[in-house]
């Protein structure tokens, strides 16, 4: 997505030992020390033409996968042994040619060192009125769309955590969320002020299910700050990386309003 961008010295907002937002590029491996992150939760650009503030979301699919491999490789280096990665992407890519996006991201992650654990299907429950059916009422060329997204769960080295910590999930939530079909609504772009926000419920569940209270949680495509908000509220250390100054400002405002944490420089 940003293969031609000249990587600049990052700005860091907040306490580098607790909660921090880094204005920088997820392709820059130097932003985070190696082997320091316990859980990574993110939704990368889908390359479907979103009007992001700083990114070209319409590059060739081959270039997009090279971009994906690089940031996934960086995340692998940043993660501790036993660290987890939760990647939210659409099941398929339908714009500018069809592609099995979730499957390709999974393969790129495994090629970069991650091991596969599971895929959660997220049913947003907001099926819009269909206008493109392909060959209507004919087997000639029907247009098939699965109105769901995926959350790919991967890990570094070993799935079982060697260092036990403090779990914060209830028994009822554990039983419900360990089921690989999650149903909750998406988030409003207009309400949040970001082109592609995910709802707080998504990182909340991942944080509670896959991390301990003492853990460090990272979102390398921080956007409007949703993952950081849930990490802070769930008593984890929160780190975000975001290329756009406008989105950094938005995230800092939301974190202050919703968590009472002021990420000043």
| pLDDT tens string 216-248 | 999 999 999 999 999 999 999 999 999 999 999
Q: Do the Cβ atoms of 248 and 13 come closer than 8 Å?
A: yes
Quick one: average pLDDT of 154-176? Answer: 93
User: Can you list the domains of the chain with their CATH numbers?
Assistant: 11-126+145-159+166-259 (3.40.50.150)
> How many angstroms separate the CA atoms of 222 and 212, rounded?
21
**How buried is 171 (Cβ within 10 angstroms: 0-12 exposed, 13-18 middle, 19+ buried)?**
exposed
Q: Concatenated DSSP letters for 24-44?
A: S-TT-GGGS-TT-EEEEEE--
pTM: 0.89
> Around 238, how many Cα atoms within 13 Å sit in the side-chain half-sphere?
29
Buried b (16+ CB within 10 A) or exposed e, 113-146: ebeeeebbbbebeeeeeeeeeeeeeeeeeeeeee
> How many angstroms separate the CA atoms of 68 and 52, rounded?
17
| pLDDT tens string 180-207 | 999 998 655 555 544 656 899 999 999 9
Would you say residue 157 has pLDDT above 90? yes
Q: What is the pLDDT of residue 5?
A: 44
Q: What is the pLDDT of residue 14?
A: 83
Q: What is the pLDDT of residue 232?
A: 96
Q: What is the pLDDT of residue 18?
A: 87
Would you say residue 253 has pLDDT above 80? yes
| pLDDT tens string 39-95 | 999 999 866 544 444 555 567 889 999 999 999 999 999 999 999 999 999 998 777
Q: What is the pLDDT of residue 49?
A: 46
Q: Residue 24: CB partners within 8 Å, gap ≥ 6?
A: 7, 8, 10, 11, 31, 241, 242, 243
Quick one: average pLDDT of 7-33? Answer: 86
Q: Three-class SS string for 168-217?
A: CCCHHHHHHHCCCEEECCCCCHHHHCCCCCCCCHHHHHHHHHHCCCCCEE
Backbone angles phi, psi at 187, to 5 degrees: -110, 150
Residue recorded with tokens 């490789």: 73
DSSP tally for the chain: helices H, then strands E: 7, 9
Q: What is the pLDDT of residue 186?
A: 65
């Amino acid at each position: 997505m940003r293969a031609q961008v000249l990587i600049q010295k990052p700005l860091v907002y907040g306490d580098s030992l607790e909660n921090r937002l880094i204005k920088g590029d997820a392709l820059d491996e130097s932003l985070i020390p190696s082997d320091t992150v316990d859980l990574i939760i993110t939704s990368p650009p889908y390359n479907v033409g979103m009007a992001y503030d700083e990114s070209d979301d319409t590059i060739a699919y081959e270039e997009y996968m090279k971009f994906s491999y690089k940031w996934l490789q960086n995340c692998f280096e940043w993660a501790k042994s036993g660290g987890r990665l939760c990647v939210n992407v659409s099941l398929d890519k339908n714009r500018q040619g069809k592609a099995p996006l979730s499957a390709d991201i999974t393969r790129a992650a495994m090629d970069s060192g991650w091991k596969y654990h599971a895929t959660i299907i997220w049913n947003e429950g907001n099926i819009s009125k269909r206008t493109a059916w392909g060959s209507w009422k004919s087997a000639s060329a029907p247009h098939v769309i699965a109105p769901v997204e995926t959350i790919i769960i991967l890990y570094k080295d070993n799935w079982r955590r060697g260092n036990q910590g403090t779990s914060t999930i209830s028994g009822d939530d554990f039983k419900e969320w360990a089921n690989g079909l999650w149903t909750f609504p998406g988030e409003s772009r207009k309400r949040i002020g970001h082109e592609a926000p995910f709802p707080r419920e998504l990182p909340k569940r991942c944080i509670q299910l896959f991390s301990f209270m003492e853990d460090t949680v990272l979102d390398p495509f921080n956007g409007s700050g949703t993952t950081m908000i849930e990490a802070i509220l769930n008593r984890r250390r929160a780190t975000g990386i975001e290329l756009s100054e406008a989105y950094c400002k938005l995230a800092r405002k939301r974190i202050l309003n919703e968590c009472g944490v002021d990420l000043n420089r």
